[in-house]
């Protein structure tokens, strides 16, 4: 089983992915791998450093696309495909839909070219279920202001960029309703986690039991 979490920065997707991983590990159906993008292997983590470093502002949009894709190709070949072949569960914080949303819709690169590159980088590997944790751009700004701290290179792109990314995510979800579940991320952490768990259990045939 291959599950991915998507959403704009500060959406809470990483928190929700971690909660689901804890639940899946407790259920004990199979070993669970929790990985992130870009990253997840030694090579991919090095590429992550380049991509998020604020000093690399001269990085071109096309170079950015290829670096994200290179990181993903290494992760797919080294971790994801072998784990799935063993019948294990993989939960990934971001995957190819992030590239379509950020580099395609956000940066304005040709969408068909981005999709072709995604196909090569993933070797045709697609998630069984993708959870999109959706929040407004206004909520992004409020959460970032509350959190404080320096923004990385991607987070410094500005409001209009994030508006395009969010619209892109929602468009991708409409194109692929068979694998996407869109979750309202402007609620309590526990409420969101319950919705995600319900979606996973409904997809894989186990009844959902509400926590008390």
pLDDT in tens, 132-182: 999 999 998 898 888 887 766 676 778 899 999 999 999 999 999 999 999
Q: Let me know the angle formed at the C-alpha of 167 by 162 and 171, rounded to the nearest 5 degrees.
A: 145
How distant, in Å, are the alpha carbons of 29, 42, 45, 73, 202 from that of 102? 34, 23, 19, 18, 30
Q: Is the pLDDT of residue 96 over 60?
A: yes
Among 156, 147, 161, residue whose Cα is nearest residue 54:
156
Q: What integer pLDDT is reported at residue 205 of this predicted model? A: 60
Q: Which residues of 113-143 are buried (b: 16+ CB within 10 A; e: fewer)?
A: ebeebbeebbeebebebbbbbbbebebbeeb
Q: Which domains does the chain have, with CATH numbers?
A: 2-203 (3.40.50.300)
In tens, the pLDDT along 37-48 reads 999 999 999 999
Q: What integer pLDDT is reported at residue 206 of this predicted model? A: 59
In tens, the pLDDT along 115-130 reads 999 999 999 999 999 9
């Amino acid at each position: 089983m291959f599950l991915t979490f998507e959403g704009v920065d500060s959406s809470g997707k990483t928190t929700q992915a971690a909660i689901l991983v804890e639940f899946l590990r407790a259920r004990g159906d199979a070993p669970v791998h929790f990985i992130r993008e870009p990253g997840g292997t030694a090579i991919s983590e090095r590429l992550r450093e380049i991509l998020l470093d604020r000093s690399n502002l001269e990085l071109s949009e096309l170079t950015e696309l290829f670096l994200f894709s290179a990181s993903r190709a290494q992760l797919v070949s080294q971790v994801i495909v072998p784990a799935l072949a063993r019948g294990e569960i993989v939960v990934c914080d971001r995957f190819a839909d992030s590239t379509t949303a950020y580099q395609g819709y956000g940066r304005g690169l040709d969408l068909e070219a981005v999709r072709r590159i995604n196909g090569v980088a993933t070797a045709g590997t697609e998630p069984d279920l993708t959870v999109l944790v959706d929040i407004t751009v206004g909520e992004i700004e409020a959460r970032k202001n509350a959190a404080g701290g320096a923004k990385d290179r991607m987070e410094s792109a500005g409001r209009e960029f994030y508006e395009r990314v969010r619209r892109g995510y929602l468009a991708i979800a409409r194109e692929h309703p068979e694998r996407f579940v869109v979750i309202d991320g402007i609620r309590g952490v526990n409420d969101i986690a319950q919705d995600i768990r319900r979606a996973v259990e409904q997809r894989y045939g186990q009844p959902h039991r509400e926590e008390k």
